Chains A and B, each alone.
Chain A
């Protein structure tokens, strides 16, 4: 549905995007993730035809945004970072303007009502946009993107500046839209991607550093098991004992103390669940476990490690020793995976 090939964008000498390629299938919800200034908005502005790329191409449903801008733009509903609203108009007038601007052929009254209702704008349909709250303005912006039923929806940071309740509502709306539309969503909030998207693209400093299915990342993160154990007894002996258990990749004594119990952070790789083994081993040596807590690896750590890994040259990656080895490895794996994919794509292209 959306095909982005070798996108490069320079602002003067500043490189905002360097050789970004990806494609989005029909019906996918793709999360475009990256720290501030990574090039997310630039990429979206190019995909929607607001900016021209320095080189590279974007096609929407087979129509090149540079060569056939009007046909390609007709396929897209875009909500930029700051919703483009006219504060003097009412919601009805605004949607009516967009209806005409996009040259829609649908039944006007019915279509606009439907769009407004799907965004929960029924009550403020006749209100002036300038008087609406931020959350409602965001909805009006999204409703504007939906006018004319474009098959592709692109939302740039749709939940920025909203309160937690509104964020949940907007996410639900997007998830609902994903059933019938192809959606690209940019954000720097990780839970959002996890909650909404099928696939995650991570950009950093203008480069695409990871391209994975959300559940694949979830599977990878679930392979790293991490526990916090509270064990009574001598710290030195317990540490030695824990390190001796096969399958445990890391043991670290924490500063937390509870009477004679010390807290330890224990990690095991490869999806091994060592809880029972830990219990019996320690019981045998008379070190009672007074507390055990399972800690997950969250997407945030993965994201940070992906960004970190991407910033290092491939050869340097292995040498760097980090505290968080498991996630570090995961991040590297994702980055390398993305690099392989791109290399593969480049090789395929050469064959053609």
Chain B
């Protein structure tokens, strides 16, 4: 597992894909942070994080599309499956490599908050009021970062499964974009319609969408509250998708 993890991690930087991912993610997050806080004149990062999630629709497939699709196309899959490594080890090695790059990007994007703290410090020194908190709420930021990481873990597992289904990277990417978009954008539907006075069927439909939607798992973390339900939701999604990937490979061996 460790060998596959290391090789996969390195291949992100042997190929340009790792640089492209990190470059685009950091540029987008910096722009977003600037726009949602400084330009809007607020210290609140809620809007920053909820918009950041939108970038995952395009960026996470970039990380996951080649994980298995490329191995199958290059026939190197045979090497991994005949090596003394279990299928679980192989899948987890690849998954954690993608997750590492993702987490690295999130960590690096924390520099976006430095200007907020700097400005807040300057503002505090200019005022004498002790009553009101000035500046970003660190608890909120940490909670949101944690929620984003959890969400990434679930979405990357979904991308991993989709990559294992095809030997064409492009198909893997397109399908992943669709699947992740569905999960991320589902809540838009609910926010656009009104729940009151709807027939039972429509309310049930809303409930299902609410269940799929990742946004509804996000709000408590963003408020700085540790949401166990969301933690379990994201981790079980990751587990299910990885389990399915492993099962897929076991099934494939049987021809």
Contacts and interface: CB of A to CB of B under 8 A. Distances in A.
A80 B254 contact: no
A195 B76 CA distance: 30
Nearest to B6: A100
A103 B253 CA distance: 23
Contacts of B85: 70, 101
Contacts of B81: 49-50
A88 B76 contact: no
Contacts, number: 75
A280 interface: no
Interface in B1-54: 2-4, 6-7, 10-11, 14-15
Contacts of B79: 80, 84, 98, 101, 144
B131 interface: no
B contact residues, range: 20 to 34
B201 interface: no
Interface residues of A, number: 32
Interface in A56-75: 69-71, 73-74
Interface string A87-109: 11100010001101111000000
A84 B75 CA distance: 6
A102 B75 contact: no
A11 B11 CA distance: 34
Interface in B55-109: 74-86
A264 interface: no
Contacts of A205: none
B254 A52 contact: yes
Contact of B84 (A70, A84, A89): A70
A10 B78 CA distance: 19
A74 B84 contact: yes
Contact of B255 (A9, A48, A88, A102): A9
A51 interface: yes
A70 B76 CA distance: 18
Contacts of B253: 50-52
Given A48-B82, A51-B255, A73-B82, A101 B14 contact: no
Q: Considering the complex of A and B, which 8 residue pairs feature the smallest CB-CB distances, nearest first?
A: A100-B3, A84-B79, A84-B76, A101-B3, A73-B84, A48-B82, A74-B84, A88-B14
Interface of B: 2-4, 6-7, 10-11, 14-15, 74-86, 253-255
Given A50-B82, A78-B78, A97-B3, 4 more contacts: A82-B75, A85-B74, A101-B4, A101-B80
